[in-house]
Each structure stands twice: as structure tokens, then as C-alpha cells.
Structure 1
Amino acid sequence: MTHTARPTPATMALRCAACGHTHPLDDLAWRCAKCHGVLDLAGFTPVMPKAAGLATRRPSLWRYAEALPIGEPHDITMGEGMTPLVTVPGRPAVQLKVDHLMPTGSFKDRGAVMLAALAARLGVSRLMADSSGNAGTAVAAYATRAGIACDVYVPAGTSAGKVGQLRAYGATVHQIPGTREDTAQAAARAADEPGVFYASHVYHPFFLHGTKTYVLELWEQLGGRLPDTLVLPVGNGTLVLGAHLGCVELLHQGLIDRLPRIVAVQAAGCAPLATAFADGRPVPSDITAHGTVAEGIAIARPARGSQILTAVRATGGTIVTVTDDEVHAAHASLARSGLYVEPTSAVCWAAIEAGQAGQIPTTPRPDGLPTAVAPLCGSGLKSKPPA
């Protein structure tokens, strides 16, 4: 399969956030070889295209090509991105970005296409991922588009719809008994095998440069502005960190004058970040996870937890929790508004409805800008509905 993306710049590398050690992209490193710290992208300077020129570009996340670390892979992309904004009756000050209207049914397509494009550019023959479902299905879909074999590790209790979707894409599915952390450990062992590209939505920073397009689209859709508050779900933090990255890039380029406040939402049954935030801690709290209907954010030990806490605090935001009962109610409320999402996607609406996201006015701002925007991250069609 011919790959038409531009070459990856030779100056780009992966740099450890803890010790600063760098790794070339083609080393296929997924964590620091020296200290096992997480890796960030170094040697890349994003540039937002001129707003006037965006109107002539195709409606996908690739319209922001100058701000992305790899060129559009024309043989892999499926038109992901540029999802709509909608309102919910009775809450005109809040808008929802319908991010489950993606090729695989979740926002994870934003990052997965970046990883598949990089894997194709590096010429790898096999990649693997671990996931509670949505990231794995996204990686599997783009892997098959790229003609690359794919293994996906998921918890044994992953929704049957997501497992079926993985197998339909041709992925080899490894269902791991135990917790989400047990799945992550099994994947880490496989990732250390020679020649394996670990297409991790948690560890590989290319994924975050994909999810930052959520904010770039929002900025464009709102006429070059952002709302006061971004309400975002958080487990491993790929959307929180991507959104924060996008906001910082817009700020540094003078395209916004302040960072919007980030309100991150966790399930009460698995809230290491909310607990740490409340206690003023710089790292996630050591917790015992309990079951939650919000399976997509049930992460007891987020690898980028300290980065998430730092990012939220930098915006003057907060991290809150919602109960499963609140998620059930929010899920039903969204469905009655015509929006059928997976339970995890209802956590932000649950926080807004319960007042956990802070005081959000009932009417939009005088300039017409919504006070808050939240994402609908995953389609309800591939998850078991709440009981």
C-alpha cells in the first residue's frame, strides 16, 4: 500500500518527561529506556493555518495539517474529525460536541489515525494496543486500513459489541482476566517484544496530537473563540491532555487570550485523580477501584496522572466525580434528547446536571458563546446499556 504522507521530520524525537532522555521515533520506544517515564514529542513546532484559508479545506481533522506532526495519510484516513456541536433542550448555555460520529464510533479515531500513519511511515509490520474498548477498535480499524497486523488486549469484561467490532476489523483479540491494570500489564509485556509498535493511546504522544484537534475544531466552530469551560471525561486522560495541548498551542500563537477552565470528570467508583486533586497531591492517589458503569474511564493508575493534574490546575479547573446513579440518569436524559451514547459518555452530562461542573448559567453569554462544551465520546450502539 502506498503511503502518501510527508516524511516525518528528522528533528522529531520522543523525550522522557521525567529525566529528559530522548529516543528516535524509529526506536519504537513506548516508555523511557532509562527510567520508564512517559514520553512527550520533541522537535516539532505546530503552526495553526490561517483562519481565512480553512473554509476551503475538507471537513476533517487534517484541515489543520500544519499543526500536526505527520502528513495526511490519504490511503488510511476515513474523514475523521469536524464533528458537530449540538444543544440539549433546557440547557442552551451548554453545547455538546458529538464526537462519537466518527468512523469507528468514538473520539479515539483522532489519535488512532496518527499512530497508524506513523506506523506506516516507519514500515512496521505489526502493532498492538490495549484498551477498555474504544481505543482498541480505533487502532484496529486504522491498522487494517494501513495493511498492518494488529493485536489488541482488552479486559475480559469488555462489552461484546466492542469485542465483535475488533474481530470484524481482523484484529487478534486478547481478553485478559482481572482489572484494567491487569490488561495494561499484559500489554506492556507484549510491547517489549522486538519489532512491535505499541500503538498506545496512553503512552505514545502522537495520540495526544490527534486528540488536540477536538479543541482546534471547537475554536474554529465558535468563530475563533473557546468557551469559558471545557467539561471532559478523564481516565487515562487522552482527551484532557490533548485538549490542554491544543489550548496551549492556540494561546502561544495569539489565537485565544486565555486558557478555558478544564473540569475533568471521573466515576466515583474509580477516582484516583479526583482524590489527588482534592488532597493537593501532585500524583494520582493510590486507591482500590470499585466497579462502575463508566468502563471507559475506570483507570486506577493512569500513567500520565501527574501531567493530567498539572494541566487541570494550570487552567484553574477542577476534577470531580459522579456516581453510577447520576450516570444512569444522565444517560437516559441524553437519550430522550435524541443522543444515544455509551454510559461513559454520559459522565460529563451527569456532572453538569448535578452541578458538579461549577455554576453554569442557564442562558448563553451575551456574545452568543456557550458557557461550557462537553464531548459525547462513544456511540451507545456498541456498548451494553446501563441496567
Structure 2
Amino acid sequence: MKKLSLCILLVTFFIQVKAQNLQGRVIDEITGKGIPFVSVGSVGTNNATVSNENGDFILKPPTYPIKLRASHISYLLVELNLAQNPDKLVISLKPATLTLNVVTIDPFQGQRVLKAALELATANATTNFYTNAFYRQLTTVNNKPTQIYELFYDLKWNTKRVQGWSAQQSRYAELKDGLAFSLNNQSYLTFSYSGYLMPEKGGKFVTLKNLGDFTITIDKYIEQASQKIAVVSCKYKKGKKNQYYVNSTYYIGIDDSKIYRLENNVYNLPISLSDATAKYPPAVTTVATFNGEGHPIPVLESVSTKFLITLAVKGQELNSGISSLLTVYKVDNDLKNQQFEALNRKTKDKKVIESIAYDSSFWKDNPIVKQTTLEDSFIKMMESKQAFGTMINP
């Protein structure tokens, strides 16, 4: 009996070791600082993720040995062979060589590079990709976390933007502690900015039809091993105090005209508030990254959104913020036969979340994107209160 028990323990220990998540951090080789939005994945598999804003990442249990790849448009690609799960994995990336575009020989060069990229995206606008995605959103008031929700969902995406979504698993928790702030359709905001082409209605976004309304310049080139990447900035010429417009920065391959990264600064985003007034227009920034490996055009990889607003509520000033990160971790065209909910600005995220029964066993140790320190502490507190099961802090 003793030998049998020992064997069972050994087998159990082996299974636990094999099932461990792979965790690590990606840092800048020179500064030592964490690098956000680095694509990290196991080569030859669909096991992939994106590092959070601190450079931390987490992968679901891989089968060793593996070749791990870390890539970022501004850094040189790194591949590591791992025979087993390391205790502390730190991946150092070397910044790619930058060439500043100091002298503008051709003032229309930036416009031509961007036009070619937008034409390529437009030519592929009817090609849909189907993916598994994870979304986490944290709301803070005066720097204190008040609300969090996480969703696993399937996405229907093309080069215009997200076309539809289908929620699979969700959880939500809210701290009822005095005044609160909530943006009930942050998912729409995230989805709306998760593509190459911006909507042509509502605000001023750079498109093929209005290139002349923007000052378009190449700020610098990134020397990657495969090709040069042009960093193209687009600044709206006629921006007014209350006008809704977006200034964008595109990272575009010179040889293939593919867009690998898109940064947006959104000005004067129109919002509707109840029981509050905004002291200033909200500050909104987004960063979308795209993965071109194995695809004729880069496929959506991640979207980070930051929303900051100062409110006056019942004589009090609230500094509210919402940060979110959408991560695509698998491309699966077998999803194309399912029903997707069309993108709609009237969608209420909380209703979508509450329409799915909370499954505590699913969420136990089920990360796709590593939590930041702030997210981790708030989630643990709300879990200790069993807040996720009741949807609000009991």
C-alpha cells in the first residue's frame, strides 16, 4: 500500500507541474523597464497572449519543450527554446534601430505610404477573421478601483473593425462605496477603434476620402530584420475646441504596406452623463496591435483603451478612469458558423455580462492576460467578498 500511495503522489505531482502556467516579464534590454503589448506565443501553436502595461505576461499551460517567441514592432524579435517551465522568466528585447526623418525631401511621402496601407486594408475589407478573445476592464474613482469585469468572447473581425461578438463567459464585481462612475458601453468604444479604418460618420478620422484634411508625416523609421517600418503621424488640420476628431499614428511596413500598430488620441468624444457634468472633455487614447504572421494581412491582436474624465457630482469632484485590454489569443475560422451580435453603441455591457450565469469553477486560475498589481489586489478582495457571484458587493 505504501508503494501504491507513493506512485499516486508522484503522478499527481507530475500532472501539477505539467499544468503550470508559463509566466514571465518582457523588458527593455537598455532601460530594464517592462514593455507593454508584446506578442508572446508558442511557435507552431495557437497558444499566445499579449503582455500587460507592466510587461508581464501569462500563457496557459504549454507542452514542453517549446519555442517561445516575443515580438514588438519597436524591438527585435526574440525566440527562446524552453525545455521546461522556468522559475523566473525574463525576456530582454533589444530596441530596433531608429532612423529619424529629419529632412523631409518629399512632403507627400507619408501620405503615399498611408494611402497604400489604407488601400490594402480596403481591398481586404470583406475578408472576415474569427477569433477567441479576452477582455478585462477596470474602473477607478480618485485612483481607487470600484468596478471590474472580464469576458471571454468570440469575435468576427475584418480590416474595418470588429463586426460582431458572442459572449461566452463573464464575471463582474462592483464596490458600492459612495459615489461611483461607470461607462456602460466601453466595449463599443474598444471595438470601434480596433481596426485600420475609422468610421466616416460622427467624428473626423483619417480615411482614404479625407487625407487632405490631415497633416501626414513620417516621423521615423524602425529598422526591422524583414523590412523598414514607417511611423506615420496624422494630425487633423482644423481641430476646434468642441469638435470630435482623432489624431492617429500608424506603424506601416514599407515593403508590404501592412499596418502593424495603430495609436489614437481621441478629442472631444461625445458622451451622455446622468447626474453629473464633465469639467473637461474626456481624454481617450487607444493602442491596437496586429499580427501578420501566417496571414495575408495582419489580424487584430490587442486593443488597449484609456478613458479619463473629471466630473462634478453633487458638489464633489471625481477623477474617473476606465482602462481596458482586449486580447485575441486564437484565430479559429471554425467559429464562422455561429451567431454574432452586431456592434451597437446601445449595447449595455453589464446586461450582457449578467445574461451569462457566473461559473466560479471556470474562472478559478483561468488567466489569459496577466493582471496588473492594481487589478490583482481588487480582484482578490472582491473574490474574498464573493462579489462576483452576486454581481455587486454584498
Normalised by the size of structure 1, how large is the TM-score?
Answer: 0.28
Structure 1 or 2, whichever has the larger Rg, is: 2
Normalised by the size of structure 2, how large is the TM-score?
Answer: 0.27
Q: Between Structure 1 and Structure 2, which shows a larger proportion of helix residues? A: 1
